[in-house]
Amino acid sequence: MQCSSRFLIGISERLNFSTSLQSQMPPQSFLKSPFDSAAYIELLKSFSSSFSLIHGKSIHAHLIKSQPKPCLFLQNNLLNMYCKCGDMVSARHLFDVMPKRDVVSWNSIVSGYFQIGLCYDSFDVFITMRHCDVVLDKFSYASALSVCARMREVNVGKMVHGLIVVCGLSKLAFLTNSLMDMYSKCGDLDRAWRVFDSSDELDDVSWNSLISAFVRIGLIEETQRFFARMHRAGVKMNSFALGSVLKACSSFGGSKELGKVIHGCVVRVGLDSDVFVGSAMLDLYAKKGLLDEAVKVFKLIPDPNVVVFNAMIAGFSRMDTEIDNMVTCEALHLFCEMLRRGMLPSKFTFSSILRACNLTESFELGKQIHGLIFKYHLQYEEFIGSALIDLYSKAHSIEDGFRCFHSSPKQDIVTWTSMISACVENEQFERALSLFNELLNDGRKPDQFTISSVMSACANLAVARSGEQIQSYATKSGFSAFTICANAQIFMYAGSGDIDAANQTFKELQTCDVVSWSAMISSHAKHGCATDALLLFQEMEHRKVVPNHITFLGVLTACSHGGLVDEGFRYFESMKKEYGIHPNVKHCACMVDLLGRAGRLNDAENFISESGFGDDPVLWRALLSSCRIHKNTETGARVAERVIELDPNASASYVLLYNMYLDAGNESLALRTRDLMKAHGVKKEPGLSWIEIGASVHNFVVGDKSHPKSDAIYSKLNEMLSRIERVDDHKDDTLEFEDIQLEHKESMFNCHSEKLAVALGVLLLPKSAPIRVMKNLRICADCHTTMKLFSRNERREIVVRDAIRFHRFKNGSCSCKDYW
């Protein structure tokens, strides 16, 4: 990246990083002497507006020493400071010890909880305030309506509306606006319209609120007509009204055409150079991907402030899949221009810059930005904390992410969710579950995104019992209605081997998005249900749901596992021609696997050469696996040489080659492969199988005798083996080579980890319960044959998940139809 560290080198030497907060703090000598209430109040107001909690606490400490019994007005200002700074623990403690409290005190607590996202706590305080016979004012009701709007609780909002009418405050324009905002955000536009029409007192905000409601749900024509009505009524279109409408248009479903119409109104009333309107217009164009128009608006603003710069930087950092290094350079140029102008970057500035670094994987640059964040003392902000966790997570520096997490004093739910998601992305699934338990024990309430991340951890660990408990929690908390939680639930059940439960979850979904369909298609594909996966894809197309690259990955996987070569190529071409999706390396690996399994090894090799991913070892390893299946030693040796050259530290390549030579009866070349692996210092991942029984997860390795029930397990396994007809010619040495001598391998077949796990399942699980075993490596042919016979003789359903797919054994057959 050309715009890298040189933009930031020397900034700390050229610029003064002292902030205005330091200048607001009284000298230490001044703090040693008491001063009157007016001085305290002015300082508290200053620290509230600058969110300086540390300075506010120092004034509180000084106040305790100088005035043991401060007046109620002074205490309310102190309470407001804590609430504005987000320290609700201190705020609530102060509130509880106040000898007298008025409606201002109660309103501060209600507003404070709402500002940090604790809506239920906020509303609980509102209800308690009513029970304490406090005379509620318009601010009390407005706060309650804001809580209802955020929680989308229209029925509770109606009850608050009734209280407002009973109290005789329904005619106030201030509450009219709050009611309209609540109803519109809850999706009840008819009631919002009735409130507007029945009100005798309307102001500019009233008109603006209804316009914003129209924009929010995408009613373009109604918005334009209402603009005309507003003009005929003689309502002046000021910067606040137009800016708010533009903000609503950019935040919700407004179209580009509507934005341009509003832009025309802005120009006509001469507000195109207004900072507030300009920043909203700039933000609108940036969110719609019209960066050229956004740049034009930016250049027209004569004296842009921090908000304008933030909107422009966010625009350059919001391009997602289209973002490139040049776009990041533009964002960084603007950031440096802010510093040169002496502007104080805000938390939104740094969160946008960090987002650009995350999108382009510019991790070193992100670390430099982190250094500037420390210099500006903004490392404790929750927005920045989450962005830093994301940065270090994508850089696979999970411990640095935890340091950022623990350094955030607020640790709101967004920060917790970011940290849990980081653990999942870095395959630290147990740590993610542990963090979730810590969150609950800490008394915090997760949101739908937290639940989704935790379910993903359960899916990867394949612990259905834990997943079911989280699903129960989600249902009780009302999160199960969210599509994102239902999608994660599909992945969780499918990943745990329960495809029926995953399918039931999918059928119960009221709103299926592309992720829902993709999750179900991929689940069927991995469980060997290729026909069901393709039928589901056809139904998805029939319902006009546009598939994405993940959907097609599931479709191609289904074709590969089902041996559907012609269908696979048809979908591969459809992905490119009909949907404009450029195949990535995973799609191409599926095609190589599809051709290789079908025995078309030459075609698979030619496909790799023409795919554009010829230097990716994943494709060659897929071909090597097919060479072993079809016992093509000559091609396999050549392919193995290529894949080891590309990725010499991957143990899977050596293991495949080793087993291929053993299958061909060439023990000398097999041993030479093992020696080559040792020479390169590569260690094979040990085979591990695990089974969840009740609240416990039991792990096994080959020949494991560490389990407390080891004697009973081996006794049961021998009993099961004695009842089946062994098929000796299916034995192989897949993934079991380590340092075991060849002549002793025969005795190890009956000790494979998945067999031990199944034996424990037969011992402890009721006969009606399926036995689900997870394995980190591929199942060997001997175990595959044995599991089929176990399922027939024991009359049990056995599900084994290996590193590639699920094998569902029932009545002596497998769902893979022996095509694996």
Residues 6+ apart with CB under 8 A from 764: 693
d(CA 456, CA 435) in angstroms, rounded, equals: 14
Coil vs helix vs strand at 359: helix
Q: 810 - beta bridge partners?
A: 813
Whether pLDDT at 4 is above 50: no
Q: Provide the 3-class DSSP secondary structure of residue 160.
A: helix
Task: Yes or no: say if 727 and 785 are a contact pair by the CB < 8 Å rule.
Answer: yes
Tens-digit pLDDT profile for residues 139-171:
888 888 888 888 888 888 889 898 888 888 887
Residue-wise pLDDT tens digits, 631-663:
888 888 888 888 888 888 888 888 888 888 887
The whole-angstrom separation of Cα 452 and Cα 519 is 13
pLDDT of residue 742: 39
pLDDT value of residue 607: 92
Mean per-residue pLDDT, 252-277: 70
For residue 365, the model assigns a pLDDT of 82
3-state secondary structure of 806: strand
The answer to whether residues 258 and 281 touch, using CB atoms and an 8 Å cutoff, is: no
Looking at 191-205, 289-303, 566-580, 734-748, which range is the least confident one?
734-748
Q: What percent of the chain has pLDDT over 90?
A: 15
Does residue 5 carry a pLDDT above 50?
no
Per-domain residue ranges of the chain: 203-303, 689-814
Average pLDDT for 781-787: 88
Q: Which residue has the tokens 């540390």?
A: 54
Tell me if residue 381 falls in helix, strand or coil.
coil
pLDDT at residue 795 tops 70: yes
| End-to-end C-alpha distance for the chain, whole angstroms | 43
User: How high does pLDDT run on average in the chain?
Assistant: 80
The stretch 539-545 carries a mean pLDDT of 90
Q: Tell which residue, 517, 533, 457, has the closest CA to residue 483.
A: 517
Provide the 10 A C-beta neighbour count for residue 349: 27
Can you tell me whether residue 798 is helix, strand or coil? strand
SS3 content of the chain, % helix, strand, coil (to 5): 70, 5, 30
Instruction: Read off the tokens for 494.
Output: 């499918």
More confident residue, 286 or 558: 558
Which of 269-283, 292-306, 405-419, 531-545 reaches the highest mean pLDDT?
Answer: 531-545
Between helix 256-268 and helix 239-251 the angle, nearest 10°, is: 170
* SS3 track for 549-598: HHHHHHHHHHHHHHCCHHHHHHHHHHHHHCCCCCCCHHHHHHHHHHHHHC
Q: For residue 801, give the nearest of 566, 581, 611, 528 by alpha carbon.
A: 528
Residues 580/586/587/593 CA torsion (nearest 10 deg): 170
C-alpha distances in Å from residue 463, one per residue of 496, 691, 767 = 6, 8, 20
